[in-house]
Structure 1
Amino acid sequence: MRRKLCRGEGINVDQIATPQEAIQNKQYKMALIELLYQLADDDFILAFRGSEWLGLAPHIEEDIAYASINQATMGHAVMYYELLESLGEGSADELAHERKASERKNAILLELMNGTGSYLENPSYDWAFTVVRHYFYDIYKKLKLESLKQSSYLPLAQAATKIKMEQYYHVMHWKVWFNQLVLSGGEAKTRMQAAIQKVWDEFADVLSYGTYAADFSKYQLIEEENLFKQKWEVEMQQVFQKAGIDYPGPPSARKGNGRTGMHTEDLNQALSILSEVYSLDPQATW
């Protein structure tokens, strides 16, 4: 049985009786919307960066597998955008394609280009960076989904339950690549170490809940930020230990905090490509 929302000063949530009751509380709804934007924008932009590897992956089997992962990840973003649509934020297509970079809530790490060049002109992409970014993010995402399954907002908890069924396979896919390259030695290991450092320099931004962190936990939308970070750190320490790599300590966020609207030019470049076809006729049904 789901317990009722306690209204008034010092509002607290154990569990929400219904989504309708939850969103009647303005503060709760604002926190929920912020969390959904973070979840949707993260998966949306990373799925796009992954799609840029189509036809460029190391071998044909990986090309097919990676394309499937990106399609699933974009599907996860759609689920979150549709939850936002149900809360009156606009259509899912509008939220995905019409919002400016400054309105996006994705972590900066996830928007960074795969390497130099572009998909159509002299792409020189870094497979090591791609492997590390995806692996570390998917471990983070797996833990986050476990927490979201207990969310006080039932539609979000239900979405997390569905998504987590696919997430296991995503983690396993990148785990194989990560261990294979790190443990192989030589140039592969050297490139992986450089990629690990690059990802670690920005991963604190991924872990950030942004300015609504206190409300996220207050309304039990997701577990408390520091507790979640501790769980992720324990998981990552095991990853480094099994790979025979020294754990580098707490990650950084050198380029800023994407949760607060800080972004790089890489995001503008991505959004211009993502919205190119949609902008031809926003009213069309794709």
Structure 2
Amino acid sequence: MKVLVPVKRVIDYNVKVRVKADGSGVDLANVKMSMNPFDEIAVEEAIRLREKGAATEIVAVSIGVKQSQETLRTALAMGADRAILIVATEDVHQDIEPLAVAKLLKAVIDEEQPELVLCGKQAIDNDMNATGQMLSALLGWSQATFASEVRIEDGNAVVTREVDGGLQTIKAKLPAIVSVDLRLNEPRYASLPNIMKAKKKPLEEKTPADYGVDVAPRLEVVSTTEPAERAAGIMVGSVDELIGKLKEAGAL
């Protein structure tokens, strides 16, 4: 079974994000970038499926700037077999929108014919949580979201997912799209020998024009601002005073 894993280059989750002085976007100058954490979990799960004998090949795909090669090399060092980079923009500040990403991934899937797509539930830079669902709709494939456990059984992906009421286990007929959540696994660190080997693994470079997809943005970011600072809390002396304060705030 071939598994395709989309990965995205984002600001490292340990970095404090800064807004540009003119409010036109996020400042990316001299900022550490890394693989989206949810995508890293998806790569790890694909490797574990291969170790269990359920998967035979893992293909990592990234869509964005040329520097996304670094992100793909990380996926290759973790254990992916080969990678495809679609250079969709030269501007590091331009984020390719979910629908355009889904259309490009569909074109890649039409060529590669994987049986399973494992993707992060969302990217930590825009938090849209939309690409996996859009890709499922474009392909007409079954999907399972927010996966905290994945098993392959008799041509199905058996997925345990987190819902408001607890855990729900569903069976999705392959081929399928599965978006993964934080509690699915703990991604491995790439060893130095594997990092060296990753440099020799195939990495194919494409453009949106190769797939006939228009990636021109349809949304315009009017302004970007820092979140408002939280107001300081107050201590109350009794339950009655607490209830009174909540009523004043309109919470009761």
Which has the larger helix fraction?
A: 1
Report the TM-score when normalising by structure 2.
0.30
Greater C-alpha radius of gyration: 2
Which has the larger strand fraction?
A: 2
